Chain A
Amino acid sequence: MEFFRNPNIDFLGKKWYFLAFSLVFSVAGILSMLFWHGIPLGVDFRGGTLVYVKFSHSPDDNAIRAALDRVGLHNAKIQRYGPLTNDEVLVDLDVQETNEAALDKGKAQIINALETNAPAGKVDLNNASSLTIKNSLLEKDPLHLGTDADARYTAIAQSIVNYRDKTKGGVLSSLDELKSVVDPPVVAALQDGYYLSDFGVRNVEIVGPQVGKQLQTQAKLAVLYSLAGMLVYLGVRFEWIYGVAAVVTVFHDTLITVGAFSLTNKPISLTVVAAILTLVGYSNNDTIVVFDRIRENIKLMRREKLADIVNKSINQTLSRTILTAGLTFLTVLALYLFGGEVLHGFSFALVIGILIGTYSSIAIAAPILVAYQEWRSGRGKAPISMPADTGKKAKAKANV
């Protein structure tokens, strides 16, 4: 099977279309960052409190809002998290709301607010720790255990918590469900001291403003350093203009990816930054493959114009470029579709970034080289040269 046999597309002739396409997306992203959504920061970077709550039934946003208002959390953002059938809600409090001194106050308030219809004196089994359950079992001793009661009840409490968390996704809807994992007397004892609220807390993220700022600086530095790393590496391996072309290309990719987050108003979290850094490296792969071929062809076709050589090189590597981008895209798409909600932002960045990165190695990086050469020859200088072949490659040739 073969997708491309000797393609011969005049990519450089279409550079104005490419430029227009890139401009539209970059400018849309920049405008959105400046005037619309800004750069939507995740809790990692802006600080604040996020509590992920899973309900046993379809949650009612208004009821949750009312409950939060009652405990004084007026500016909480409430949004559905994940697919609707998950019945999961994300409660988002600003830093101001949670205040730095009591970092976990907000979390406790949210849980209190949601536990409105708690029967007096009973403990919520959906949000109880295994230690609490063990202690109350030990007190009631429903199985009349002797010496090893502590160990036995610890194991029973653990199996109850495991059943709740691992099998039932964190929320039990009826205490009777427990009959499948523990003996009836235990269930009866639990019915005595416990009730079931309609929710369980699945995940809590609390980030103080100080850490948020620190992480912001680190993320910016990391992106800058990796761009600089690329520039230096490509400058050494090829020639500095190749490094510049590659870095401009990667910057273009990063800009459009961040722009996509701004346009869709998806928060940029730490893992999204990780994805962007990966893209900085990955997007260079395609560019390097094309550059490598250009370098090889410059030596083989000394008389041809650089524009023709570049066009030929892109065409020669097109099959490989599309194939590998396609295969990486397949895996990233699997992540996006099946990787779950936690990785959503991460895989979204990769999906966008791999598409743009592949496009840009053809549409941005190579034309920059040609444009630079035309500018130089316009000023009467010699065309760009290539550094001598590395020893390894020469040796490999000698082996043939």
Chain B
Amino acid sequence: MNKNLRWKVIVIVVVMLVFMFGIFGIPKSLSGTGLLAAMTDRIHLGLDLKGGTHLILQVQVNDAVNADSDRGIERLKDDMRSRKIAYNDVIKPDPANNPDKIVIKGVPPEASSDLRNLIGDRLPEYDASSGPENSWVLSMKPQQLRDLKDRAVAQAIETIRNRIDKLGVSEPVIQEHGLGQYQILVQLPGVDDPARVKEIMQSTAMLEIRQAVDKQPYPDEQAALGAHNGVLPDNTMLMHGRSIGASNENGDAVWVISRVSAVAGHDLREARVGRNSQTGSPEVNFILTSEGGRRFSQFTSAHVGDSLAVVLDNKVMEVATIKSEIGDQGVIEGRFTDEQAKDLALVLNSGALPASIKYLEERTVGPSLGADSIRSGMRAAIVGMLAVLIFMLVYYHGAGINADVALILNLIILLGFLGFSGATLTLPGIAGVILTVGMGVDSNVLIFERIREELRNGKTPPSAVDQGFAHAWITIVDTHVTTIVSAFILFIFGTGPVKGFAVTLTFGLLANLFTAVFVSRVIFDYVLSRKQRGEALSIG
């Protein structure tokens, strides 16, 4: 073997060892099961193979914008009052579609410049323009609006990750999905109770404490309005909830409560499951932050004798009379089961979602189907691979061995890459591996056919091999590039299993460039170097 060839062989052996490490790591035992265990340890299986749940959630970002513009309106009203700017009303004409649009009605013309200054000072994120009949239209600046929505998605991802981590799901995927669609992709491998996880993710967990203006609930909204002669007191609203203390405990009840909350979600420090000292039923105790606690004690000391309402996700959970100033603790009682109380504490601790979420897509692959898919995928891979290997041997004889070695190395590199990169192997990914074998052998066939042609034209074996590789090389690059281009586009547009297919196909074909051209050439050179001058080449 000449020196050049020896170096090339060393390169090949090193590459193989590196990728073998990628597949198996350093296996604990060399038995079949030991190797298999080492392999499944390094190559991650997709949801479609190991079972699990795939969800796409839509963050209702308009909720977050509405909350922000509501706060804006409160601030605006306060400031207009303090700067003595007269107005009739401040409304949001279309909260569902244009949640950032605020209309101020009835501002006298002489107050225009004052109002403009105020908005510039206090609501700099809004653009203001004067509209018809002394009204002013405020809408959020596009950049600020985008930021607000992006923040809502980022915060939702963070919150959902917190919750799922606490549930102890292993290797979840939680990430933004699509571009600018405000969607989140959640993948939960091996979760066999997806309904509960979905419930926990979806819960907004917005905890507030507000004043209950009327101490008694009403059976429905009409009754509540009727009690106030059809007009609710200033800054109050109707809210549904449990009818605490009433005989129909499961029934709906309507409370009249204050519009603003004394304490809100971000004032919460910790929630814990406890037991009611009298009934022994589960309840959730919460502790407020020092800032929240300070406001809570201010509120309670100012409202001794009034009622307070614990509101969770816009539903009244609890109403109690304030007997004295309360520090920083509270309790939510409900007819919880142990599990429900645990889940509620979990969602409260993980923080509130900035906006509600909606499920757009759900795919649950049962583990039994995953196991079947692995079986059939492997079977197809082995059958397809053997068919190709045997055909190459029969058709090309000696050179067939060369092609088979190159193909097997191709597979090792591909699987090793999967192990190194942490890319997941999906069922279409297995199909990609099989296709790599079928398409990769194309390069060998191109080269071999060309060598045969050159031999037929009377060239000596070394020069035929040389010519074969030289002529086939450009064609091989062209064919690989076209397939990789479409695989790349597939990778950009595809999701989940399809992405896995694009990844395996791309890397299979890249590896093929190395094995079918470099490795195969080295084998030919080695074979030729051991032959006598004029001895024939075995190529079928």
Residues of A within 8 A of B (CB): 1-2, 52, 54, 103-104, 129-132, 161-162, 164-166, 168-170, 200-208, 210-211, 214, 218-219, 221-222, 225-226, 229-230, 233-234, 237, 270-271, 273-274, 277-278, 280-282, 284-285, 288-289, 292, 296, 316, 319-320, 323-324, 327-335, 337-340, 342-343, 346-347, 350, 390, 392-393, 396-397, 399-400
Contacts and interface: CB of A to CB of B under 8 A. Distances in A.
Contacts of B431: 335, 339, 343, 346-347
Of all A-B residue pairs in the complex, the 5 with the closest CB atoms, nearest first, are A340-B376, A170-B368, A334-B384, A331-B438, A396-B470
B463 A400 contact: yes
Contacts of A346: 428, 431
A342 B373 contact: yes
A206 B494 contact: no
Contacts of B438: 327-332
Contact of A208 (B361, B439, B540): B361
A204 B363 contact: yes
Interface in B164-204: 178, 181, 192-193, 195, 198
B362 A2 contact: no
Given A1-B394, A270-B494, A327 B388 contact: yes
A51 to B, nearest CB: 10
A288 B371 contact: no
Given A280-B486, A320-B449, A324-B445, 20 more contacts: A104-B198, A161-B367, A165-B367, A166-B371, A170-B368, A203-B363, A229-B486, A230-B485, A233-B481, A274-B428, A282-B483, A323-B395, A327-B392, A331-B385, A332-B438, A334-B387, A340-B427, A342-B376, A396-B473, A400-B463
Interface string B462-492: 0100110011011100110111111101101
B138 interface: no
Specify which of B368, B375, B392, B489 lies most central, judged by the most chain A CB atoms within 10 Å of its CB.
B368
Nearest to B490: A277
Given A289-B479, A328-B439, A274 B368 contact: no
Given A229-B489, A271-B498, A319-B449, A210 B58 contact: yes
A335 B380 contact: yes
B1 interface: no
A214 B178 contact: yes
Contacts of A206: 359, 361-363
Contacts of A200: 366, 368
Contact of B363 (A205, A230, A273): A205
B295 to A, nearest CB: 37
A274 B502 CA distance: 8
A278 B486 contact: yes
A334 B474 contact: no
A355 to B, nearest CB: 14
A366 B364 CA distance: 47
A330 B434 CA distance: 10
A219 B493 contact: yes
A337 B380 contact: yes
A289 B474 CA distance: 10
A281 B452 CA distance: 27
18 contacts: A2-B452, A2-B540, A129-B192, A164-B368, A222-B489, A226-B490, A233-B485, A277-B486, A277-B487, A278-B483, A281-B485, A292-B475, A334-B381, A335-B384, A338-B380, A340-B377, A393-B473, A396-B473
Given A52-B369, A165-B371, A393 B479 contact: no
A204 B193 contact: no
A83 to B, nearest CB: 11
B10 interface: no
Given A132-B193, A222-B489, A331-B435, A392 B474 contact: yes
B486 A203 contact: no
Mostly helix, strand, loop or mixed at chain A's interface? helix
Contacts of B483: 278, 281-282, 284-285
A350 to B, nearest CB: 8
Nearest to A284: B482
Specify which of B373, B385, B434, B497 lies most central, judged by the most chain A CB atoms within 10 Å of its CB.
B434
B78 interface: no
Contacts of A210: 58, 360
Contacts of B195: 104
A359 B438 CA distance: 18
Mostly helix, strand, loop or mixed at chain B's interface? helix
Contacts of B361: 103, 206-208, 211
A151 to B, nearest CB: 13
Contact of A288 (B366, B394, B396, B475): B475
B427 A292 contact: no
Contacts of A332: 384, 434-435, 438
Given A170-B368, A316-B453, A208 B48 contact: no
A288 B478 CA distance: 7
A24 B485 CA distance: 31
Interface in B382-408: 383-385, 387-388, 391-392, 394-397
A342 B434 contact: no
A397 B470 contact: yes
A347 to B, nearest CB: 7
Contacts of A202: 366, 368-369
Contacts of B492: 222
Specify which of A132, A234, A271, A319 lies most central, judged by the most chain B CB atoms within 10 Å of its CB.
A271
B360 to A, nearest CB: 4
Contact of B391 (A103, A211, A229, A327): A327
B379 interface: yes
A170 B431 CA distance: 24
Given A203-B366, A323-B449, A324-B442, A277 B388 contact: no
Contact of B383 (A205, A226, A230, A334): A334
Given A130-B192, A324-B445, A335-B434, A165 B362 contact: no
A316 B450 CA distance: 10
B226 to A, nearest CB: 31
B446 interface: yes
Interface string B500-526: 011001000000000000000000000
B313 to A, nearest CB: 17
B435 A278 contact: yes
Nearest to A108: B195
B168 to A, nearest CB: 11
Contacts of A234: 482
B85 to A, nearest CB: 42
A166 B368 contact: yes
Nearest to B390: A330
Contacts of B372: 169, 340
Contacts of A324: 439, 441-442, 445-446
B495 interface: yes
